[in-house]
Amino acid sequence: MSDDGRFERATSRFTDRITEDGRDGWPVEAGRYRLVVSRACPWASRSLVVRRLLGLEDALSLAVADPVQDERSWRFTLDPDGRDPVLGIRFLSEAYEAREPGHPGGVSVPAVVDVPTGGLVTNDYQRITLDLETEWTRLHRPGAPDLYPERLRDEIDERMDGVYRDVNNGVYEAGFATSQEAYEEAYGRLFARLDQVSEHLAARRYLVGDTITEADVRLFTTLVRFDAVYHGHFKCNRNKLTEDRVLWAYARDLFQTPGFGDTVDFDHIKRHYYVVHRHINPTRIVPRGPDLRGWRTPHHREELGGRPFGDGTPPSPPRQDEVVVPL
């Protein structure tokens, strides 16, 4: 936090990249790495969606942490004996320690861990999905969509920058603010950007071009949490997502697209935010609402045209061991 009550997000400490040529010492290799996520975390959820869309499940294994972490970091209490069955560790902090003994910083997800050494490779949430899209192409499934097409990258980057600053991170700046001024500034930027995005999407199905891109993935992971968490818990309460006709239809369109909604676990989302953030919710009571059935209602966004996967195809259904309890 800054002296004037503004939330300041820490930068990723470990920014090595896994690339086709292995220039950082980490070559793309099927089965070598393990992606550690929490289904509660919007930054980690980006990697879940991209991994599904690209069909990387067999190449990049998945570890899902308990949504409620403790002072020792994200924990693997969802697994038998409380240990990740591949890495053999109880806490993600052990992978950070293996990478940097005495690591002084925070422990965040998503994280990619080198299975042979048990050490962290990267926790660079801004870069992980881009590299999955551009460096892991040899391992993509047949029919995988191009989520970061080269001809549109400047526009995608511009869209993502604004959405990150004012929406993805903006909800946290509002929710974690410790001064009225800081809260109101973040609140204002958040809804100004959402209004802009809503106007942009009123006549087009996706943020950039006529197919799903990385920009849509990044916006979706905040929108899907908006009414369940950010509206009340983070005081982002000018209006609910369901009260914005365009954004609500856009979010439902993506949710109902294979690879998006089938990665979302609202139970994990709600338990994490309402239980872990004791300074905001000291009673740790998890609300029963909102009613989630609306996520499956018709959205009619297909009337705007567009091709969700471009020249590609939808991903196969989730692996049996990765199925989320449906709404």
Round to whole Å and give the CA distance between 131 and 104: 27
C-alpha torsion angle, residues 234, 261, 32, 96 (rounded to 10): 10
Out of 33, 41, 183, 230, which one is annotated catalytic? 41
172 classed as catalytic: yes
33 classed as catalytic: no
Query: Does 74 belong to an annotated binding site?
Result: yes
Nearest-5° Cα angle at 132, 160 to 219: 25
Helices (H), the chain: 42-54, 93-99, 125-134, 153-163, 170-175, 180-201, 214-223, 245-255, 266-276
Q: Are 229 and 240 in contact (CB under 8 A)?
A: no
Tell me 89's DSSP state: -
**Residue among 320, 319, 223, 299 nearest 256 (CA):** 299
Q: Are 27 and 116 in contact (CB under 8 A)?
A: no
Tell me 241's DSSP state: G
Residues in the annotated binding site for glutathione = 74
> Which residues are documented as binding site?
74
Q: Hey, which residues are catalytic here?
A: 41, 172
